[in-house]
A = this chain, B = another copy of it.
């Protein structure tokens, strides 16, 4: 069994300090569980903050970069995957993640939520109200909303019960 890969999406340069603080805490909690943190890999916003949180808790971080080099990469990304395909890489982000967490963001984050739902991935919204946009997924329990990083971890454990850190062999 492989380590669980948790995708953390959310705003880039425009992310507020509060959102970055949430992302930072979430990154640490994901690392504490022994899970791999995956994000878009840039050194700004939710990407940088979540990776920093994970690294301060000795986690492993993977960034799926839109670029052909690591100039924009976060210093807290262990494995920068260079796709060279711009936002086309959003699809790789969600395919590779076992589960997707979305913090407040704009069109890029929404595209990732939409692609995740279309491809059968569970989505956890952390303080990110989306109105009725994906209401059918919410009713089906595929997309859920929480307000604290700790709830994200609990929700992941409920959705992926055997994937907690004690049972991982990798």
Chain B: minimal CB distance from A141 (Å): 16
Q: Which of B5, B60, B119, B170 contacts A87 (CB 8 A)?
A: B119
Interface residue range, chain A: 35 or more
* A contact patch SS: mixed
CA A87 to CA B77, docked complex, whole Å = 25
Find residues 106-155 in chain A having any chain B CB closer than 8 Å to their own CB: 106-108, 110-111, 114-115, 117-119, 130-134, 136-137
Within 8 Å of chain B (Cβ to Cβ): is A83? yes
CA A62 to CA B61, docked complex, whole Å = 12
Q: Are A118 and B114 in contact (CB under 8 A)?
A: no
Q: Which residues of B contact A82 (CB under 8 A)?
A: 92, 95-96
